């Protein structure tokens, strides 16, 4: 699919003493929601931190929107909404402090909308009598407040680090709806990047996926295209040894087996009596990450 | 000035004002306590007498630390391990906001210290106490603020806390030493000040220089390093 990029990453690296991210080459499509998928330590948060100017890259280029490349540029930051996975705001802050800080920090922050979203997300707003500070709230409620603050701004790109991990299933569903609304309201100009472990729950929110393992990108593409590129193969255990060379990764028990394979191998698998079906994002993720783990 | 206060509020919210209010209430409580000391000390209890001596020696230095503690909170909030760090790093003009907040925090620490010391001075005068603690507090204030600025960018929060604990400990020792010396018939700090105020002003000037240098270096450090893309290419 031919699309413009809202973020174009070329040769990006970040070196820590015990971990190196990259070199990464990623094109995040404009107007879509992109999921960063990977195991713990894959480098998703580091990548998000670099994209939002929280940490500096060691080398490489990141180009945002129409050729803007310097994340230190305040005008660029104004266009990006960011929410970290944990403790984004100081723990002593109440909703009122958050509203004041956001209002000072961002011209695009709508204080009334923040209060409205806090009430919608069922957390303390600045109109709540004796609002609790972040310290006294659960991880889920902190994330809800954080999401309310980021959706209360008029941005063109949302970068959310593990937005669903601390939310209950119902709230995760609501978040997916809210993310869809955000994209729809943007007429193809708004984009979202989010990292997730809850692939099954957040599948509805993702259009494009970037799979990461140990600081590298192992696969990326539109989810619909990836679902055409790969298949889930299922067969009887007695055929597993013959089919094994055609599988990228798989599991087997005494009676059956299943695994991820390239769609181009589906015909050969069929000859072995192995059925192929379209994978879900969850199956795709597990298969690809397992493959990457086995071939490090 | 408004933009400096806004930047300070961005980092600390309404917390400094709430804390200042709490400390004012505490000071008012001590004020009442000192004013009714004669009633409390009527039984000549050693405990009550010792408590008032200790409080009068320590209340000055402690009241100067209140604003410094808020300055320390400001620096703490910008340490990568602290909650809020990612928010502060990701906002537009984060370095400018942080440097303004440091300047406002220093002014706030100084102003709050001076107001508290003035309050303690009034209470001591009303209660007829020796005001050496106030003079000691005034001497400590610029040093404590300066040290807090120098310690502001230490990587570990605990190192910063140790610095501040050291300042408090030194103040405690100095207060104890002066109180002990006064009991042995030596002149109090207030009496020394009345006799010859030059050494007092020299120490104060040294403290103010340390404070000014530390603030300038701190602000410069933030403007050069904070939020600036240090990409090697």
pLDDT of residue B27: 80
Euclidean distance between CA atoms A252 and B185, whole angstroms: 91
Q: Of the segments A37-41, A238-242, B58-62, which one has the largest average pLDDT value?
A: A37-41
Euclidean distance between CA atoms A93 and B82, whole angstroms: 13
For the stretch B68-92, pLDDT in tens is 888 888 888 778 888 999 999 999 9
For A52, the closest of B90, B93, B232 (CB atoms) is B90
pLDDT of residue B133: 82
- Chain B residues with CB under 8 Å of A78 CB are 92
**Least CA distance to B233: which residue of chain A?**
A59
CB contact under 8 A, B87 and A88: yes
For A72, the closest of B83, B97, B228 (CB atoms) is B228
pLDDT of residue B45: 67
CB contact under 8 A, B10 and A93: no
**What is the domain extent for residue B49?**
2-225
3-class state of residue B14 by DSSP: coil
pLDDT range class, residue A195, cuts 50, 70, 90: very high
Question: Does the residue B233 lie in any domain?
Answer: no
For the stretch A153-183, pLDDT in tens is 999 999 999 998 888 989 999 999 999 999 9
For B9, the closest of A71, A100, A106 (CB atoms) is A100
Does B44 have pLDDT greater than 70? Answer: no
For A89, the closest of B84, B230, B231 (CB atoms) is B84
Comparison of pLDDT for A247 and B78, the residue scoring more: A247
Question: Does the residue B231 lie in any domain?
Answer: no
Q: Considering only CB atoms, which residues of chain A are within 8 Å of chain B?
A: 49, 52-60, 70-72, 74-75, 77-78, 82, 84, 86-94, 96-98, 100-101, 104-106, 134
pLDDT, chain A, mean: 90
pLDDT of residue B16: 83
Peptide linkage before A23 cis (omega within 30 of 0): yes
Average pLDDT of span A125-135: 89
- Chain B residues with CB under 8 Å of A91 CB are 83-84
pLDDT range class, residue B233, cuts 50, 70, 90: very low
pLDDT range class, residue B40, cuts 50, 70, 90: low
Average pLDDT of span B136-146: 88
Does A46 have pLDDT greater than 50? Answer: yes
pLDDT of residue A80: 94
pLDDT of residue B230: 46
Helix then strand then coil, % of chain B, to nearest 5? 80, 0, 20
Does B43 have pLDDT greater than 70? Answer: no
Say how many domains are in chain B: 1
- Chain B residues with CB under 8 Å of A72 CB are 227-229
Question: Does the residue B64 lie in any domain?
Answer: yes
In which residue are the tokens 């580091």 written? Answer: A46
- What percent of chain A is predicted at pLDDT more than 70? 99
Can you say how many angstroms the Cα of residue A217 is from the centroid of all Cα atoms in its chain? Answer: 13
CB contact under 8 A, B13 and A96: yes
Domains of chain A: 5-221 (3.40.50.300), 226-294 (no CATH)
Q: Is the pTM of this model over 0.90?
A: no
Does A20 have pLDDT greater than 70? Answer: yes
pLDDT of residue B134: 85
Euclidean distance between CA atoms B74 and B98, whole angstroms: 9
pLDDT of residue A83: 93
Question: Does the residue B160 lie in any domain?
Answer: yes
pLDDT range class, residue A140, cuts 50, 70, 90: very high
CB contact under 8 A, A96 and B231: no
pLDDT of residue B189: 79
pLDDT range class, residue A11, cuts 50, 70, 90: very high
pLDDT of residue A32: 94
Question: Does the residue B85 lie in any domain?
Answer: yes
Question: In angstroms, what separates the C-alpha of A226 from chain B's closest C-alpha?
Answer: 33
- DSSP for chain A? ----EEEEEEEEEEE-SS-EEEEEEEEEETTSEEEEEE-TTSSHHHHHHHHTTSS--SEEEEEETTTB--TT-HHHHHTEEEE-SS--S-TT--HHHHHHHHHHH-TTB-HHHHHHHHHHTTS--TTSSSPPPGGGS-HHHHHHHHHHHHHTB--SEEEESSTTTTS-HHHHHHHHHHHHHHHHHTTT--EEEEEES-HHHHGGG-SEEEEEETTEEEEEEEHHHHHHHEEEEEEEGGGHHHHGGGEEEEEE-SSEEEEEEEGGGHHHHHHTT-EEEPPPHHHHHHHHHHHHHHT-
- Chain A residues with CB under 8 Å of B231 CB are 56-60
CB contact under 8 A, A74 and B86: no
């Amino acid at each position: 699919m031919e699309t413009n990029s809202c973020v174009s990453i070329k040769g990006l690296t970040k070196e820590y003493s015990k971990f190196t991210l990259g070199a990464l080459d990623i094109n995040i499509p404009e107007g879509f929601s992109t999921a960063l998928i990977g195991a713990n330590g894959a480098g998703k948060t580091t990548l998000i931190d670099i994209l939002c100017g929280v940490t500096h890259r060691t080398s490489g280029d990141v180009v945002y929107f129409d050729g803007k490349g310097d994340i230190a540029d305040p005008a660029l930051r104004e266009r990006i909404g960011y929410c970290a996975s944990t403790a984004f705001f100081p723990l002593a802050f109440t909703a009122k402090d958050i509203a004041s800080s956001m209002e000072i920090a961002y011209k695009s922050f709508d204080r009334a909308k923040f209060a409205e979203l806090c009430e919608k997300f069922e957390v303390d707003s600045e109109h709540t009598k004796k609002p609790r500070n972040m310290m006294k709230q659960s991880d889920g409620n902190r994330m809800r407040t954080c999401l309310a603050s980021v959706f209360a701004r008029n941005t063109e790109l949302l970068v959310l680090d593990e937005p669903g991990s601390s939310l209950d299933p119902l709230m995760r569903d609501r978040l997916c709806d809210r993310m869809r609304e955000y994209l729809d309201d943007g007429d193809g100009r708004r984009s979202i990047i989010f990292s997730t472990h809850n692939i099954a729950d957040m599948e509805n929110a993702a259009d494009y996926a970037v799979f990461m393992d140990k600081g590298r990108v192992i696969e990326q593409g539109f989810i619909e295209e990836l679902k055409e590129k790969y298949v889930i193969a299922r067969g009887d255990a007695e055929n597993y040894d013959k089919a094994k060379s055609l599988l990228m990764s798989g599991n087997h028990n005494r009676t059956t087996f299943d695994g991820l394979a390239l769609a181009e191998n589906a015909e050969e698998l069929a000859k072995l009596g192995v059925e192929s079906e379209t994978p879900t994002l969850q199956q795709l993720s597990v298969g690809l990450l397992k493959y990457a783990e086995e071939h490090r | 000035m408004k933009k400096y206060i806004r930047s300070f509020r961005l980092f600390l919210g309404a917390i400094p004002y709430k804390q200042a209010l709490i400390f004012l209430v505490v000071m008012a409580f001590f004020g009442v306590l000192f004013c009714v000391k004669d009633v409390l000390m009527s039984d000549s209890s050693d405990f009550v007498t010792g408590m008032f001596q200790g409080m009068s020696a320590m209340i000055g230095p402690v009241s100067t630390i209140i604003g410094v503690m808020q300055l320390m909170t400001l620096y703490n909030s910008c340490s990568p391990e602290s909650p809020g760090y990612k928010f502060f790093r990701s906002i537009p003009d984060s370095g400018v906001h942080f440097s303004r907040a440091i300047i406002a925090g220093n002014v706030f620490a100084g102003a709050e210290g001076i107001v508290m010391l003035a309050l303690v001075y009034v209470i001591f005068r009303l209660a007829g106490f020796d005001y050496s603690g106030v003079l000691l507090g005034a001497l400590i204030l610029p040093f404590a603020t300066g040290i807090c600025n120098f310690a502001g960018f230490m990587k570990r929060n605990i190192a910063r806390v140790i610095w501040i604990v050291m300042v408090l400990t030194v103040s405690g020792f100095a207060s104890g030493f002066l109180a002990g010396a006064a009991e042995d018939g030596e002149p109090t700090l207030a009496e020394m000040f009345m006799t010859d105020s030059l050494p007092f002003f020299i120490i104060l000037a040294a403290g103010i220089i340390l404070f000014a240098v530390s603030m300038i270096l701190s602000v410069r450090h933030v403007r050069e390093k904070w939020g600036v893309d240090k990409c090697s290419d």
